[in-house]
């Protein structure tokens, strides 16, 4: 299988690493095109993949073309690539907010996969939601599932509107949790803990709690009840969260991100 990357930044590298680790393609069959000479050198030295600064040459005779450039670069790249794609080539986009319709028209190409990964993909703990056009064959879908699965969990959805929802949940989700870690660390400092200690305690707690959800197989609500004894300290904190409308605040935040994802998608049409 021959693969082209247009853009070899953070996410492109995560996908490249996953593909090589899982032996889905050999380094000699992968070309990464990137505008930055520093990135090209780095990716060549670290992964032995071929590198190029020529997007058109890079996609020639490749089975899969992975678009991993920033959304604001997409229009220029599409103008460059239009007319150079063969119908049997698959375009796999990870670009946030780039609609299938935009990609099909911009590239004059039908076989498109649109996906939404998240940053933990960089440590193979990602969550990626993806969908495909009807021109994508079952065999190509299997390959996409393996490529995206090489970065963590992958979920296929058969309707594109789930992608905007995924953007607001799994795509932006890591930032919500980082924000919560910041807030909890600040709270710990305010009640008197030294900052270094507070940070380690909070990060350790978040990782431990996440692992417990994963390994115990129990519902998060059940795990919460297990540590919340009546009239105890945890109950006091949860009461404060509930009084302050925490669940509704989370809903409002996710909804705002979802609406923004829809607006961005519409503006790129």
Ligand X SMILES: NC(=O)c1ccc[n+]([C@@H]2O[C@H](COP(=O)([O-])OP(=O)(O)OC[C@H]3O[C@@H](n4cnc5c(N)ncnc54)[C@H](OP(=O)(O)O)[C@@H]3O)[C@@H](O)[C@H]2O)c1
Q: Which residues bind ligand X (CB under 6 A)?
A: 6-12, 33-36, 39, 55, 68-71, 73, 76-77, 94-96, 116-119, 171
The pair of three-digit structure tokens given for residue 119, joined into one six-digit string: 């940053």
Residues near 178 by beta carbon (within 8 Å), at least 6 away in sequence: none
Minimum distance between the CB of residue 147 and ligand X, rounded to whole angstroms?
14
Minimum distance between the CB of residue 40 and ligand X, rounded to whole angstroms?
9
- Give the nearer residue to ligand X in terms of CB position, either 6 or 17: 6
Minimum distance between the CB of residue 185 and ligand X, rounded to whole angstroms?
22
Minimum distance between the CB of residue 12 and ligand X, rounded to whole angstroms?
5
Closest CA to 17 of 122, 95, 128: 122
Residue number with the smallest Cβ distance to ligand X: 9
Minimum distance between the CB of residue 41 and ligand X, rounded to whole angstroms?
12
- Give the nearer residue to ligand X in terms of CB position, either 76 or 233: 76
- Give the nearer residue to ligand X in terms of CB position, either 36 or 216: 36
Q: DSSP characters for 131-199? A: EE-TTS-HHHHHHHHHHHHTTEEEEE-SSTHHHHHHIIIIITHHHHHHHHHHHHHHHHHHTT--HHHHH
Closest CA to 12 of 94, 111, 127: 94
- Give the nearer residue to ligand X in terms of CB position, either 31 or 33: 33
Which of the 8 DSSP states describes residue 74?
Answer: H
The pair of three-digit structure tokens given for residue 1, joined into one six-digit string: 């299988």
Residues near 145 by beta carbon (within 8 Å), at least 6 away in sequence: 154, 156
Minimum distance between the CB of residue 149 and ligand X, rounded to whole angstroms?
16
Contact 71, 96 (CB under 8 A): yes
CA terminus-to-terminus distance, the chain: 31
Minimum distance between the CB of residue 215 and ligand X, rounded to whole angstroms?
25
Closest CA to 1 of 36, 39, 38, 27: 27
- Give the nearer residue to ligand X in terms of CB position, either 165 or 198: 165
- Give the nearer residue to ligand X in terms of CB position, either 120 or 145: 120
**What are the distances in angstroms from CA 245 to CA 109, 230, 234?**
47, 20, 17
- Give the nearer residue to ligand X in terms of CB position, either 90 or 121: 121
Q: In the beta sheet, which residues pair with residue 156?
A: 130
């Amino acid at each position: 299988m021959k693969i082209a990357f247009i853009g070899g930044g953070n996410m492109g590298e995560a996908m490249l690493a996953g593909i090589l680790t899982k032996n889905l393609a050999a380094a000699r069959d992968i070309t990464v095109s990137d505008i930055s000479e520093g990135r090209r050198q780095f990716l060549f030295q670290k992964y032995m993949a071929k590198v190029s600064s020529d997007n058109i040459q890079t996609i020639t005779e490749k089975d899969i073309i992975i678009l991993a450039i920033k959304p604001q670069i997409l229009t220029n790249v599409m103008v460059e690539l239009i007319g150079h794609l063969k119908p049997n080539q698959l375009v796999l986009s990870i670009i946030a907010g780039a609609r299938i319709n935009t990609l099909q028209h911009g590239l004059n190409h039908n076989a498109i996969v649109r996906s939404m990964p998240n940053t933990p993909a960089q440590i193979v703990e990602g969550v990626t939601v993806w969908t495909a056009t009807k021109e994508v064959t079952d065999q190509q879908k299997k390959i996409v599932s393996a490529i995206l699965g090489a970065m963590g969990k992958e979920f296929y959805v058969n309707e594109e509107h789930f992608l905007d929802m995924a953007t607001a949940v799994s795509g932006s989700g890591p930032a919500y949790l980082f924000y919560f870690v910041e807030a909890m660390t600040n709270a710990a400092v305010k009640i008197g803990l030294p900052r270094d200690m507070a940070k380690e305690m909070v990060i350790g707690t978040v990782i431990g709690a996440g692992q417990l959800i994963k390994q115990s197989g129990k519902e998060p609500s059940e795990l919460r009840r297990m540590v919340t004894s009546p009239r105890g300290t945890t109950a006091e904190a949860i009461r404060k969260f509930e009084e302050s409308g925490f669940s509704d605040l989370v809903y409002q935040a996710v909804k705002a991100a979802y609406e923004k994802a829809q607006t961005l998608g519409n503006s790129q049409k």
